[in-house]
Amino acid sequence: MARTAEDFVFFWKPEQSHGWASQWYKSPFSARVILPDGEERDVTFTTAEHWMMGQKALLFGDQEIFERIVGLPASDKSVSPPNPTQSASAVSTEGGPVRNTRSRPSRPSRSTTKASTTRVPRTRIPGPKEAKALGRKVRNFDEGRWARERERIVLAGTLHKFRQHADLRALLLGTGERGLVEASPMDRVWGVGVGARKAAEMCVSAEGREGWRMNLLGRALGEARRILRLEGEGGGASGEAAEGREAS
C-alpha cells in the first residue's frame, strides 16, 4: 500500500519536532512501586526513560540502581531488612497515576541532640542519558526475560506519562491514525534504525517500510493512543475520567 510521509509522525530527540513523544522528554509523573525489600513507595519519574530503566532495575531486584535512577536516598537503616521470601522481580503497579508525592526521609525530632542526629544525604536526579547508563549496570540482568517484559513496561510508563499530562495527551490523540515512528539511526529496537529523512523516503512503499527495524516505542505510543482514546470516549473527550485506571 502506497503511503506518504504525511501518514507518519517521525520523532527522536526531545528538542526536535514532535519531541514530546521521546522517552527523554521531561514530563514528570508519579506511580507506586514495590521495592525488592518489600517497601511500597510513591515515586516521581522525571521522564519515561527513568521509568523504563527504573522498572528494569526492579525487574531484576536491583534496588540500589533503582534508587540511583530515580534519585531516592539510599535505603536507610530504619527500614526493615529485605525479606528473603520477597520476589526479586517485584515491579510497580501498572496503569493509572497515583498522588503526586514521593517518599521522603522523616526529619529528626527537635529534641534529638546534634550528636545523635543522622544527616540524610542529599540526592541528585540523573538526566535521562545517565539513567540509561545506570540501567545498563543492573545486576542479574537476563536478556531473554527483559525482551519478554520490556514492551509491557514501556506501555505502562507511556500511559502514566500521557494520563498525567493533559497537554501531552492532547498532542498524542491529535496524531489521529498516523503511524508513530522513532526515527533514531542509533536504535534498531525502540526505533527504526534510520533518521527521519531516510525513514520518510522508505515509507512510500511496503518494501521500504519492511526495511525499518522494530520501532517498539512507536508501537507502544500507538497502543497508548488507542487506550487513551477509548478512555476518552467512555469518560469525556479529555479523558480525565480515565485517571486512576489500570493499564489493560
- The structural domains of the chain, ordered by start, are 5-75+125-235 (1.10.357.40)
Q: What are the grid coordinates assigned to 11, written together?
A: 520523532
Nearest to 201 by CA among 193, 209, 213, 192: 209
How confident is the model at residue 182, as a pLDDT? Answer: 97
Nearest to 220 by CA among 7, 11, 70: 11
Q: Answer for the pair 39, 237: CB distance below 8 angstroms, yes or no.
A: no
Q: Answer for the pair 1, 206: CB distance below 8 angstroms, yes or no.
A: yes
How confident is the model at residue 233, as a pLDDT? Answer: 86
How confident is the model at residue 169, as a pLDDT? Answer: 98
The model's pTM is 0.76
What is the number of other CB atoms lying within 10 angstroms of the CB of residue 43?
25
Q: What are the grid coordinates assigned to 127, written together?
A: 538526566
Tens place of pLDDT per residue across the chain (248 aa): 668 899 999 999 999 999 999 999 999 999 999 999 999 999 999 999 999 999 999 999 999 999 999 998 865 433 334 443 443 344 444 444 333 334 444 454 444 444 444 454 557 899 999 999 999 999 999 999 999 999 999 999 999 999 999 999 999 999 999 999 999 999 999 999 999 999 999 998 888 888 899 999 999 999 999 999 999 987 544 444 344 343 33
Q: What are the grid coordinates assigned to 19, written together?
A: 519531541
Q: What are the grid coordinates assigned to 243, written together?
A: 485517571
Please enumerate in sequence order all residues whose Cβ is within 8 A of that of 241, keeping only pairs 6 or more positions apart, or say none: 231, 234, 235
Q: Can you state the angle between helices 48-59 and 143-163, rounded to 10 degrees?
A: 140
Q: What are the grid coordinates assigned to 168, written together?
A: 501531552
Q: HSE (CB half, 13 Å, CA atoms) of 161?
A: 29
d(CA 7, CA 180): 9
Q: Where are the beta strands (DSSP E) in 73-160?
A: none
